[in-house]
Amino acid sequence: MIRGSCLCGAVRFEIDVVRSLTHCHCANCRKLTGAAFATYAHVDADKFRFVAGEDEAMRYESAPGSFRYRCKTCGCLTPGKASYLETVSIPAGLLDDDPQLKPRLHVFTSSRAPWWTIQDDLPQYEKWVPGYAPRS
C-alpha cells in the first residue's frame, strides 16, 4: 500500500498500486505548482481511497471543464478525477511512500517553460497522449 497526504495532513489517502507517473508541462500545471512541470501519479479509481479529509478538498474550475481540488487548510493540490478518465490523478509530491515506478513520459511539451530543457529520454507529447484527450 502507498500512503499520501497534503502538507497539513488533513487530506490523507491510500493507493493499492500506481498505474503510471507522468510529467505535465502545460501552463495550468506549471502555474498551479509554481514549478517547471507537475508530476502526477495515475491510479485506477478502484485502487484509490481517501482515509481522511475528502470533504476538506475544495473543488474549483482551473480551466473550462477542468476541475482541480485543493486542501482548504494548507492549499495543496489534492487527488482528483477527471470525468473523462477512469483514473484518479494525484500530485506525486503528496506520496509519502515509494510508488515503485519512475515517470514514463512528458505531456504538453509545446507549453514547456522556455527556461527548462527536458534532458531525459522519456517519450514527449506536444499535447495529449493519444487516447487520453477529453471527449467532446
Query: Cα dihedral angle (55, 57, 58, 60), rounded to 10 degrees?
Result: -130
Whether residue 24 lies inside any domain: the answer is: no
| pLDDT band for position 130 (cuts 50, 70, 90) | confident
**pLDDT tens by residue, 74-128:** 999 999 988 778 889 999 999 999 999 999 999 999 999 999 999 999 999 999 8
| Domain total of the chain | 1
The verdict on pTM exceeding 0.75 is yes
Whether residue 96 lies inside any domain: the answer is: yes
Whether residue 131 lies inside any domain: the answer is: no
The pLDDT value given to residue 136: 61
CATH number at residue 48: 2.170.150.70
Whether residue 111 lies inside any domain: the answer is: no
Cα gap 90→121, rounded to integer Å = 23
Domain extent at residue 11: 2-19+39-102
Which cell is 101 given? 515506478
The pLDDT value given to residue 128: 87
Q: What is the DSSP letter of 55?
A: G
